[in-house]
Structure 1
């Protein structure tokens, strides 16, 4: 794709997103034909959204667990952006009307204390572990903002940040004070009913492995992670789609509890 096509595709995606209009297939000449083109469009989408005072705050990693790979039919991780206005504290009440079709996932989130820049690649698990500052129990908020996501393909979903719509964070815990993230057991509870369970090992074998994948993925594109940025490492459970009035509670052993209401 040429630069003009990339920008035109990004404009259509950003407009649909800000207007909460379900996104259908892009015009044929603007459809990314591979994931590399999807990430090029995604970068432009980030710039367009940042111009609307949506400060870029970090990344989410999708398809890091088998349950999510099977659900979406994509056998490898995918990355998307997270914006500051979409980050909330535990206990928040959010309007379902602010989304097209809102869903939630149970996640381990980390905030970086050191940069992970392209010149320092490749990154191992040990190197990225040293960059982790705080950890959080997290609810990732996802939005099915598509006419039918199953027909769009991974490149277009990547261009639109792979369903990303924000997150809710539990209290920060210093990385040195948390247990082995691979051993964390997580539970998704909706309206008091257990609807899903998973473990840190479900996330590419270890959530820090997912972080290393992201750092190397970005480095290959000439991008990096910066101190202070947040990374959602991937869902321990299958996405749960919500309706108005639903109350969400995620419990992650050793990391704590995070809750939100959708009204």
Structure 2
């Protein structure tokens, strides 16, 4: 981490932007993260300033063997199916349909490293989830990648459907699904997660968290990348995600 970067200064900008529903045009030189380590430091500083517990993690990769990145999600931004949110609270807003995993055990800070089998064995339930993608930057999505990562990886809110027990035979690579907004489809073609099987992202997330001194508490939700790409919506309405074999998930934008 460069000596010039001030994670707390960037976190203050993010927290103020959230509080005032404002957008940042640029960042002062000392508040510009230039790599993933600086971005992760800013994520953690943001949650501290928000006095927010971690209710979940969002994690993803752009390709089958590409680097993995993640962000902790404030607990008050993780909602159950049927949640009603104000669409204008987010500014430009994207919607994604994802598969999320709820863990049933605690992973201690500083423990590990954990293998895939260790984390898969801790899965309590599997869920359909709608990720509300939103940014604190006015120019988003045309924003430096480390800046987006620092901004909790463009997190707006996470809506989590009711869970079903984990079944290793579930077709995680390409499950059948529909995603609609007021009945109109939000994506075309075959659903696919760019990371491939999202379960490959879970051990990385747990190891990343505990290596940075952050516990994974029982009940934590890990959402692991979009199958539908991003669909933008700036109007009131109802988003409905249905993934075959999982319970549906519903978001009401008012």
TM-score tier, shorter chain, comes to 0.7 to 0.9
2:234 to 212, 222, 243: 243
Cα distance, 1:3 vs structure 2: 8.9
SS in 1 for 2:33: coil
Name the CA shift for 1:58/1:92 in 2 (closer, same or farther; >3 Å). Answer: closer
The alignment's TM-score, normalised by the length of structure 1, stands at 0.85
2:69 to 78, 82, 85: 78
Deviations 1:91-125 (A, max 9, x none): 23321122122221101111111123455433332
The residue aligned with 1:38 is: 39
Q: Which moved more, 1:182-191 or 1:238-247?
A: 182-191
SS in 2 for 1:256: coil
Q: Distance in 2 between matches of 1:230 and 1:89?
A: 11
Q: Distance in 2 between matches of 1:26 and 1:242?
A: 27
Q: How does 1:15-94 map to 2 (within 5 A)?
A: 15-50=16-51, 54-62=52-60, 64-66=61-63, 76-94=67-85
Note if contact 1:115-1:226 (Cα within 8 Å) is conserved in structure 2: yes
Note if contact 1:128-1:208 (Cα within 8 Å) is conserved in structure 2: no
Q: Distance in 2 between matches of 1:246 and 1:111?
A: 27
The residue aligned with 1:139 is: 130
Q: Distance in 1 between matches of 2:59 and 2:176?
A: 19
User: Structure 1: where are the runs of 5+ without partners?
Assistant: 68-74
1:98 to 54, 78, 89: 89
The number of equivalent residue pairs is 251
* CA RMSD between the two structures: 2.5
Note if contact 1:178-1:254 (Cα within 8 Å) is conserved in structure 2: no
Cα distance, 1:235 vs structure 2: 0.9
Cα distance, 1:169 vs structure 2: 1.6
Q: Distance in 2 between matches of 1:190 and 1:114?
A: 35
Q: Distance in 2 between matches of 1:30 and 1:90?
A: 36
Would you tell me which structure has more helix in proportion to its own residues? 1
List 4+ stretches of structure 1 deviating above 4 A.
Answer: none
SS in 2 for 1:17: helix
The residue aligned with 1:71 is: none
2:112 to 108, 115, 121: 121
Q: Distance in 2 between matches of 1:123 and 1:181?
A: 21
The residue aligned with 1:152 is: 143
The residue aligned with 1:258 is: 249
The residue aligned with 2:7 is: 6
The alignment's TM-score, normalised by the length of structure 2, stands at 0.87
Cα distance, 1:139 vs structure 2: 0.7
